[in-house]
Amino acid sequence: MRISYYNGEYVNHDEMKVKSGDRAFYFGDGVYEVVRIYDGRFFTLDEHADRLMRSAEEVMIKGLEREEIIEILHEIKERNGITDGALYIQVSRGIAPRDHGFPDGSKPVIYASIRSSKRPEQQMESGVRAVTTEDYRWLKCHVKSLNLLANVMEKQHAVENGAKETIMHRDGVVTEGSSTNVFMVKNGILFTHPADNLILNGITRLEVLKLAEENDIPFREEGFTVSDMSEADEVFYTSTTQEITPVINIDGRKVGDGSVGGTTRRLQSFFNKKITELISVKQS
């Protein structure tokens, strides 16, 4: 039986009832995180918890306790016994009659659930196709908000065009994917959009930049255009569940020679080593 958490209770996931007055239901008024579990251990749990707290603060959700979040995540993991999975947690502003203004006296509502999730080994090995489109989202993309309709529409754009991801741009400058951060390699230099309000500062994005610095791979956090990307040697995207995924074709055109590039392979190898080290700590 799969156990989830909602509004103070651990319940059978299939029998869980969401309150109709939950502002997540009415307005998407909340924030969320997805945390990866490898062989029973959380990967970058503190970083995800910290970002959840920052997102809540950014949209003025008050009364959320970091310690409570950590406790719920551990409890959900233990109750379900899933060793390789993804744990989803969201926080809404609370339960109240439907009114756009913030309700007085409401308490944040926490929902958490877990699912088994295998590493996307085939797509990481072979690479994927992507398409591009205009980024028309709001200007607080650094908040991991429940308001994901634009992202859903962009992901469907990829699906309908036989691609895995949609890479978005504002006036030609690449921002990010519909559910990923995007990187380009040109002449041995790694490029990615700076962590401002136009992108979500992904946890895996940050891990990749750390790995690049630790292993003498030059990188620049600066914008690049769709035109620049069309002449890139390599392109890849990152996320918690998709890790480091090479992009070998964009809008029907090969990236580089159409194969996975050397810098991408190096970063995948360094990332794999971090996961192996995490698992080894558990076993020792």
Which of helix, strand or coil describes residue 192?
Answer: strand
**What is the structure's pLDDT at 282?**
55
Q: Are 149 and 114 in contact (CB under 8 A)?
A: no
User: From CA 85, how far away is CA 113, in angstroms rounded?
Assistant: 11
The predicted pLDDT at position 284 comes to 45
CATH number of 3-116: 3.30.470.10
- Cβ proximity of 6 and 18 under 8 Å: yes
The secondary element (H helix, E strand) that includes residue 129 is: strand 128-134
Q: Retrieve residue 128's tokens.
A: 């994927």
pLDDT (tens, 9 = 90+) of the chain, 284 residues, equals 999 999 999 999 999 999 999 999 999 999 999 999 999 999 999 999 999 999 999 999 999 999 999 999 999 999 999 999 999 999 999 999 999 999 998 999 999 999 999 999 999 999 999 999 999 999 999 999 999 999 999 999 999 999 999 999 999 999 999 999 999 999 999 999 999 999 999 999 999 999 999 999 999 999 999 999 999 999 999 999 999 999 999 999 999 999 999 999 999 999 999 999 998 875 54
DSSP run (H or E) holding 258 = none
CB 174 within 8 Å of CB 225: yes
Q: What is the DSSP string of 202-222?
A: -HHHHHHHHHHHHTT--EEE-
Report the catalytic residues.
144
**What pLDDT score was predicted for residue 75?**
98
* pLDDT at 280 (0 to 100): 84
Q: Which fold has domain 121-276?
A: D-amino Acid Aminotransferase; Chain A, domain 2 (3.20.10)
pTM: 0.95
Domain limits, the chain: 3-116, 121-276
